[in-house]
A = this chain, B = another copy of it.
């Protein structure tokens, strides 16, 4: 965009919105050009919406001028989905952070998209409720972002993802239509399900301005367990047995031996020698009956090859058990300055084949791969460690990644469980979806956003991506890479 056009753009936007809601100085706009993928592209302007009407007028203006518009929550995404690769306007929703209504009797909360996940949970807890999606970044990430990527976390194994926990949405489509989709009730089948169509669409169909979320009662109590296994196979056997019995844990987290070894080297954790895999398990429910529920999970976890199962009885013991898990991210950072962090999913019974295959790829490509994640869902964070200063290693890592994805698909898995596609996986989705399904998605995109102004260069594909810049340096302190 020429300097002249840029000046016109920011002048027109400033006429459209109250003072203090438009920034166009590159220094101000800089941080709005990146997300947690470390990719960056500078937008021409950043606009802060305060109301649904603000969103409506900005989207309509961008649509009439064919200016790219990328909606953004808090920028904690890891796939570059909010990086404005086509320039234009970044529409920040961080100031639309109000709780509009909470109804415990109706088990719903109506909120604005910029509300952080944690602020929502804090508002719900005194009423005895919570909203199940719990990304590791809950303290910083926004509900709108959670909806955009269908982001979940450990609790999804029992309580589901945003798609299972959202009743309805208010949104503005790419062509500026002001729509309400879904319902205020826990049942409803009037017409096609556009609510779930928008959830996970990564801001490419519409900008969500309000969400009616389905609430779940908080469990009275929670117990934490740690189980250690001699082999990945033994742990996988335990995961299958746990998932095949009636007590569904509210967390069933896995770590492979590469992860364990790393922790053993870089922390003082009390892990047994020769541990091949580890599970962190949480069981919640009413206090009455919880002992029996925990016992049932412990029995299922005690397969052949189980070296140790510990149940924490106090807050301190819980913290001690989680210390192992928490030691992982700093350890990873010590070992390698960079990593490719994927969030693939396979059916639970395919976890051993996945880990075996990943180890073969690790040897073949000469790259360290560390695996952990939400194993109750079969959702594994595959971390390919690398040094970003060595271009040859980076190339090799990307070759390896293509093989990881092929392996996952061969095991009836999916390329992303909760991080989404963004820029990172855009070139791989046709392998999973096939050309016909991608065509249908592109057709839907054209209906919602005929001028392709919403987050261009992302989902579904087939749109120009000419201005993409994915190698720009990250300013100091901006490249924090939260391990999930």
Contacts and interface: CB of A to CB of B under 8 A. Distances in A.
Interface of A: 103-108, 127-128, 149-150, 152, 156-157, 160-161, 163-164, 173, 177-181, 183-194, 196-197, 199-201, 205, 217-220, 240-241, 243-248, 285-293, 345-349, 374, 377-379, 412-421, 425, 429, 432-434, 436-438, 440-441, 443-444, 447-448, 459-460
Contacts of A246: 128, 217-220, 286
A247 B105 contact: no
Contacts of A197: 192-193, 196-197
Contacts of A244: 104-105, 107, 127-128
23 contacts: A103-B349, A104-B244, A106-B348, A106-B349, A107-B244, A128-B246, A160-B164, A161-B189, A164-B164, A179-B437, A185-B377, A187-B414, A187-B418, A188-B345, A188-B416, A189-B420, A189-B421, A190-B421, A190-B425, A190-B432, A190-B433, A217-B245, A289-B292
Contact of A440 (B105, B177, B414, B460): B177
Given A189-B417, A189-B419, A289-B293, 13 more contacts: A107-B243, A107-B244, A185-B345, A186-B377, A187-B374, A188-B414, A190-B415, A190-B433, A191-B437, A196-B197, A288-B293, A289-B289, A440-B447
A150 B189 contact: yes
A189 B441 contact: no
Contact of A196 (B105, B196, B347, B412): B196
Given A178-B436, A192-B459, A187 B379 contact: yes
B243 A106 contact: yes
A483 B412 CA distance: 41
A13 B287 CA distance: 62
Nearest to A196: B196
Contacts of A194: 437, 440-441
Q: How many copies does the complex hold?
A: 2
A282 to B, nearest CB: 17
A418 B185 CA distance: 12
B286 A179 contact: no
A72 B377 CA distance: 34
Contact of A436 (B107, B163, B179, B247): B179
Question: Which of A152, A164, A188, A217 has the largest number of chain B CB atoms within 10 A?
Answer: A188
B184 A412 contact: yes
A5 to B, nearest CB: 31
A448 B440 CA distance: 7
A436 B206 CA distance: 13
Contacts of A349: 103, 105-106
A425 B345 CA distance: 40
B106 A188 contact: no
Nearest to A108: B347
A155 to B, nearest CB: 12
A168 to B, nearest CB: 9
A209 B274 CA distance: 48
Given A192-B460, A246-B219, A157 B128 contact: no
